[in-house]
Structure 1
Amino acid sequence: MNPDMLVLAAGTVQSTPFLDRLAPARAAGFNGISMFAADFEVLTAAGITANEVRMRVADAGLVLTEVEIVGNWLPGARHKVGLPDWLVALLDRATPDYVIEMAASLGAQGITVGEMFGIEASYDCAAEAFAKICERASDHGLVVALEFIPTGGVATLNDGWEIVRRAGCDNGGLLVDSWHFFRSGSSLELLAQLPPTAIKSVQICDAPAIAEADLDDAMVHARRLPGEGALDLSGFITALGASISQVPIAVEVFSDALAKQPIDEIARRCAEAAHRVLQGDVK
């Protein structure tokens, strides 16, 4: 099974300047790439315009699938022990309007939304906030993908689906990340029951069978390439069903060890690992 849009995720290659990721991504066989809001901030600080970024991405034969991540969208205190100050500051300024305007200027297909501060809200409250984001994004033709994160206030697939379902927006859906899925104890049965339109984006990586003691740390430092851990990625891909061929499939491997390798090698290994998983060549 080959996805229509295989994406090299920003988190996998965050130590490499954005424009330097483009040629290696395409050479490795990726046809999409994602971007952090912080990536664009670095580019604009260097005097590089959104229009220039759009042209460089297109010239490389790639599509900018997502700008990540709206982190300031639920009411509540924005502080969490364990998050570095720079990340707290970034998430705090990454409001819906900020990221939507950025994504629209860059010609991205969509944006992602996540909750990392640990702010808890009722499903109805979160659905109302999510629906407002979707409404604003629809004015620019953007898709909005809600990512559930086990250490945040929207922690599981069930949580994310309840918010998306109650919001009821055609351009809104879920971002299902294999690391978040398994580390949150989410259900393959529920995943398989979701309508294909519920899922707007997928991210894959791997991890050891036993969950790490510090999930926040492991989430951003110690993931593994697809097929090099013990997660049931075969079951995960099967449960996604028809969605797997209809949405961007990103390889997102936050890994200090992988990041030490040259960008060309990282891109090649990620593409090869993704294809093995998608073709069912994993245990």
Structure 2
Amino acid sequence: MKKSLHTKSVNGCNLLTALSIAQKSGFSGVEIVASKLDAYLAEGFTAEDLAAELKAKNLEAICINDICHIESPRPEALEQMLEEAHRYAEVAEIIGCKYIQLVPLVELDGYAWDAILDITANNVKQICDIGANHGVAFQLEAVAWSPFRSLKRGLALIEKVGKDNLGMVVDTWHFWAGGETQPEEVAAMDPSLIYNIHFCDGKRQAPDTVWDETKLRGYYFNEADIPLEDYANAIKASGYKGWWSVELVSSKHWEMDAIAVAKKLSDDMDHYM
């Protein structure tokens, strides 16, 4: 098992600074936030430049995060998704990154589940076909406040899509905050469908409040409410042997010393791995 830093954990800096922080903090991999990647490329840097930076820092790119609103029924949204899939898959191929993350959100709230599944699967099939042309796969995140808020629903989408380059990321906060996935279900997963781990602590949304991920996930390990030992044991019991990514989505910690934050995350992650 190998340890990766999700660069959203140090969101207050640019991409190359995030890579340096990961290198100095004991990580051997990184998940690249798409907005950081877009800003880097917009200034004339290339995927080849990024590949060289990763190599120089002895880092492996694990995933590009992310393509959002994959559930959208709007043609213009699908067009944007497919453009992003082309763009990020081309970069991923050059930098040796195996995965791009897919994020379903809430445009289909109120639809029947079968319709949600059909519409989303149609979009994802087209995205997966683009990735296949570049040797890239996609990790689905079961977002806690979306219709795909559980492991069971995520696996239903994977089955419906029927592509061999679609799997899941086990995100401890999304599974726990969604309230419908138990660690025992993770332990029973086919490990070939687990593409990555997002490991973090956090709290659930209070009733009648707005979801604010930057507050609900604003905790170091063992500071909040997720049974992290149970999830860590479940991940290991599944037979999964891949990357574990630390993801701290916290507006508070983004204003702290990023190197100190990343170093603490790295050191604390060793206990669970």
Quickly name the TM-score band, shorter chain normalised: 0.7 to 0.9
Q: What is the number of residues matched between the two proteins?
A: 262
Does 1:184 find its partner at 2:178?
A: yes
What SS does the aligned partner of 2:61 have? Answer: strand
- Structure 2 match to 1:255: 250
* Separation in structure 2 between the aligned mates of residue 259 and residue 277 of structure 1, nearest angstrom: 23
1:94 offset after TM fit, Å? 6.9
Instruction: In structure 1, list runs of 5 or more residues that go unmatched.
Output: 79-87, 279-283
Identity of aligned residues (%): 21
1:46 matched to 2:27: no
2:265 equivalent to 1:276: no
Go from structure 1 to structure 2 and tell me whether the alpha carbon gap of 1:256 and 1:161 turns closer, same or farther (over 3 Å shift).
Answer: same
1:23-49 CA distances to partner (integer Å, 9 max, x unpaired)?
221222100011122111211222222
Structure 1 equivalent of residue 234 of structure 2:
239
Q: 1:100 to 1:119 in 2, by over 3 A?
A: farther
User: Which letter maps to 2:16?
Assistant: L
Alignment of 1:1-283 (within 5 A): 3=1, 5-76=2-73, 95-119=84-108, 121-185=115-179, 186-208=181-203, 211-213=205-207, 214=209, 216-217=211-212, 219-223=213-217, 224-241=219-236, 245-278=240-273
Where do 5+ consecutive residues of structure 2 fail to align? 110-114
Distance, in Å, in 2 between the alignment partners of 1:169 and 1:238 is 29
Contact 2:205–2:216 at 8 Å: present in 1 too? no
Specify the code of the residue in structure 2 equivalent to 1:119: L
2:71/2:107 contact within 8 Å kept: no
Alpha-carbon distance between aligned partners in 1 of 2:127 and 2:238, rounded to the nearest angstrom: 23
Report the Cα distance in structure 2 between the residues aligned to 1:18 and 1:222, rounded to whole angstroms.
25
Change in CA separation of 1:232 and 1:158 when aligned onto 2, cut-off 3 Å: same
Instruction: Give TM-score scaled by structure 1 length.
Output: 0.83
Structure-1 separation of matches of 2:24 and 2:3: 13
Alpha-carbon distance between aligned partners in 1 of 2:42 and 2:85, rounded to the nearest angstrom: 21
Task: Tell me how large the CA RMSD over aligned residues is.
Answer: 2.4
Q: Please, what TM-score do these two structures have when normalized by structure 2?
A: 0.86
How far does residue 131 in structure 1 lie from its aligned partner after superposition?
3.0
CA contact (8 A) 1:72 1:94 kept: no
CA distance in 2 between counterparts of 1:273 and 1:152 reads 30
Three-state SS of the structure 2 residue aligned to 1:25 is helix
Counterparts in 2 of 1:195 and 1:234: CA distance versus 1, 3 Å? same
SS of 1:250's equivalent in the other structure is strand
* Shift in Å, 1:243: 5.1
